[in-house]
Amino acid sequence: MVVYFALGLIAVLLVVGTIIYLATPRSYESSSTVANSYDQWTQDGILEFYWGEHIHLGHYGSPPRRKDFLKAKSDFVHEMARWAGLDTLPRGTTVLDVGCGIGGSSRILARDYGFSTTGITISPQQVKRAGELTPENLTAKFQVDDALDLSFPDNSFDVVWSIEAGPHMPDKEKYGAEMLRVLKPGGILVVADWNQRDDRRKPLNFWEKPVMRQLLDQWSHPSFSSIEGFSEQLEATGLTDGQVTTADWTRETLPSWLDSIWQGIIRPKGLVQFGFGGFIKSLREVPTMLLMRLAFGAGLCRFGMFKARKINNLPQSQQSAVGETINA
């Protein structure tokens, strides 16, 4: 009898939890909703406790192998740097980290490669925490800025770098154009992002549409680009030197989703540190992570890598005109 009661209680909690989850989406409304969400996660420290300094997926190798969750995340930064050829650049190379979170990538690029990094995020709390985590001897600084309206002049950085910021951008074309605008001629743009399958070639089917809706609504995403679509938008700016190089790292990053849930099981200290409220807040993210694992595993979503070099011979007058068009 007790067993049946327990099973019945669990079933009721699952039903009630699912209803609450579906009835309380966190849909994208404006950049303020994104900033407020990251401010809250940064202030309470839950995300940093479980995900460390890197609020992005990990790289588990090719082929993927078992790896410590936090090490996979730092490995991702090095794999991305090698893939883009940044490991051959000289010390002092200037890098803009767009959507820097609490500065994990910026610190690695400054510490291990000798780069001079500037991280920008729309969250004031992330900027504050990034500063707290950054030793004074590192050439890494952080500021609040809007990726769709960057405060830097044209041709400011040798490298522009961005990890998993694109899904929060309502205007993907402007997101790409702004990053290219502040890149120096001949400089390198390297982006890693969550993408959906190109639905121009294969439309979403009956189960993919509601799954995609939840992936957008639960984490304040206005939309996902496809790998093909975003690379076309970058090339359409007229600022790239030839075609954009792309790669699909879905396989290499896929273990991250279940690994992130597993952290909550093997690190019960979080239950004590953040209390019942923190437990409920963390538990609420589990369905979205499971849906992410389903979407990336089934081909609905793909982890896209993008690399482009800014054209070297664009006349200054034309570059200024492009900048004016972007900011219009």
pLDDT band at 327, cuts 50/70/90? very low
Residue 269 DSSP SS3: helix
Are 238 and 39 contacting, i.e. CB atoms less than 8 angstroms apart? no
Are 180 and 141 contacting, i.e. CB atoms less than 8 angstroms apart? no
What is the distance, to the nearest Å, from the Cα of residue 64 to the centroid of all Cα atoms in its chain?
20
The answer to which of 1-5, 84-88, 245-249 has the lowest mean pLDDT is 1-5
pLDDT, tens digit (0-9, with 9 covering 90-100), for 166-176: 999 999 999 99
Are 211 and 294 contacting, i.e. CB atoms less than 8 angstroms apart? yes
Residue partners of 44: CB distance under 8 A and separation at least 6: 274, 278, 281
pLDDT score of 194 more than 70? yes
What is the per-residue pLDDT for 170? 96
Sheet (strand 140-144) strand order: 140-144, 116-121, 94-98, 157-163, 183-196, 301-309, 245-248
d(CA 144, CA 126): 9
Give the chain's end-to-end CA distance (angstroms, integer): 69
pLDDT band at 279, cuts 50/70/90? confident
pLDDT, tens digit (0-9, with 9 covering 90-100), for 112-165: 999 999 999 999 999 999 999 999 999 999 999 999 999 999 999 999 999 999
- Tokens standing for residue 305: 């890598």
d(CA 200, CA 77): 31
| Global pTM exceeds 0.75 | yes
What is the per-residue pLDDT for 321? 41
Question: In the chain, at which residue ranges do the beta strands (DSSP E only) sit?
Answer: 94-98, 116-121, 140-144, 157-163, 183-196, 245-248, 301-309
pLDDT, tens digit (0-9, with 9 covering 90-100), for 280-308: 888 888 899 999 999 999 999 999 999 99
